[in-house]
């Protein structure tokens, strides 16, 4: 507890001077690198590094029965497994709250932005639709898994190929792919995790910053031009946000979005070729 207090004090002191614990600005991400095709078994896959945070995302597909209230739409399931190899804090066993929450928030960003055209995943209304499964795995957790997972999911979706489906046998031929891509729209979401320590908000927290964060706001936004469109938002942490806080964090989010979104679109276009 004493070590955490000392780390927190150093972080707050650095933020007061207009810089982060590691020398970054409040609106500055660590270096981002993206690799595709990391799995020869998945329909699509990506490895994303944000600083020392390192994640792998895989896409699998299957043919299933649609939900009763969306008989002409495909389905989506996002799940995260927080592996012990990525952090000494994680243990093997059934998914705990943090893993379930990671999957849920990435699912929400993708689903609410409507980046997947679910109607085009319908094979036969009321009977057969394609289901998209997104699996999230950390290799090294040095903070901000959510943003890395979301970027990885988008890249994996972009480069995924539809598997061969034998309609007569009613089976997916795994390991055989068509030239068809998963039907996506032009609405590509960017998830930004905004954290607060002391009186300062910042993006892309490393692990020390996450540990000392008092509250955070997850914002999924998109938009090719002009002001971003917010698709989903969730606040975590016990501390509340004043109206001034909320205005500050939204201003910071928009500034970061304007800088990062064109780069994300460029990376997605390049990596999907």
Output the domain CATH number for residue 69: 3.30.230.70
In whole angstroms, give the CA distance from residue 53 to residue 178: 33
Percent of the chain with pLDDT over 70: 96
- What is the tally of structural domains in the chain? 1
Sequential pLDDT tens for the chain (273 residues): 455 577 777 777 777 777 787 889 999 999 999 999 999 999 999 999 999 999 999 999 999 999 999 999 999 999 999 999 999 999 988 889 999 999 999 999 999 999 999 999 999 999 999 999 999 999 999 999 999 999 999 999 999 999 999 888 888 988 899 999 999 998 889 999 999 888 889 999 999 889 888 899 999 998 866 678 999 999 988 778 889 988 999 999 999 998 888 888 888 777 666
pTM, two decimals, is 0.92
In whole angstroms, give the CA distance from residue 33 to residue 31: 7
User: Is 8 part of any domain?
Assistant: no
User: Is 3 part of any domain?
Assistant: no
User: Is 5 part of any domain?
Assistant: no
Q: Quote the pLDDT of residue 273.
A: 65
User: Is 163 part of any domain?
Assistant: yes
Say if residues 222 and 189 touch (Cβ distance below 8 Å).
yes
- What SS3 class is residue 54? strand
Which tokens is 150 given?
Answer: 């979301």
User: Is 48 part of any domain?
Assistant: yes
Beta bridge partners of 35: 47
Domain assignment of residue 104, given as a range: 21-271
Q: Quote the pLDDT of residue 16.
A: 75
User: Is 60 part of any domain?
Assistant: yes
User: Residue 111: how many CA atoms within 13 Å on its side-chain side?
Assistant: 16
User: Is 58 part of any domain?
Assistant: yes
User: Is 11 part of any domain?
Assistant: no
In whole angstroms, give the CA distance from residue 168 to residue 106: 35
């Amino acid at each position: 507890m004493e070590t955490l207090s000392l780390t927190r004090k150093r972080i707050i002191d650095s933020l007061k001077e207009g810089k982060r614990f590691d020398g970054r600005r409040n609106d500055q991400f660590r270096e981002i690198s993206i690799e595709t095709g990391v799995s020869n078994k998945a329909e699509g896959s990506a490895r994303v590094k944000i600083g020392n945070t390192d994640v792998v995302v895989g896409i699998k597909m299957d043919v299933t029965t649609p939900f009763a209230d969306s008989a002409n739409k495909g389905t989506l399931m996002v799940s995260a497994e927080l592996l012990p190899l990525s952090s000494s804090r994680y243990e093997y066993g059934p998914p705990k709250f943090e893993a379930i929450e990671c999957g849920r928030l990435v699912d929400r960003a993708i689903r609410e932005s409507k980046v997947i055209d679910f109607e085009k995943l319908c094979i036969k209304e009321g009977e057969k639709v394609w289901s998209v499964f997104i699996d999230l795995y950390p290799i090294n957790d040095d903070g901000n898994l959510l943003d890395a997972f979301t970027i990885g999911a988008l890249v994996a979706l972009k480069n995924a190929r539809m598997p061969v489906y034998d309609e007569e046998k009613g089976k997916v031929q795994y390991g055989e792919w068509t030239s068809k891509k998963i039907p996506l729209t032009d609405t590509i979401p960017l998830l930004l995790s905004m954290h607060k320590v002391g009186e300062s908000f910042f993006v892309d927290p490393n692990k020390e910053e996450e540990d000392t964060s008092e509250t955070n706001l997850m914002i999924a936004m998109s938009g090719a031009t002009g002001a971003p469109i917010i698709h989903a938002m969730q606040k975590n942490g016990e501390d509340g946000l004043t109206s001034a806080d909320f205005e500050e964090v939204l201003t910071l989010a928009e500034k970061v979005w304007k800088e990062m979104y064109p780069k994300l679109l460029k990376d997605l276009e390049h990596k999907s070729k």
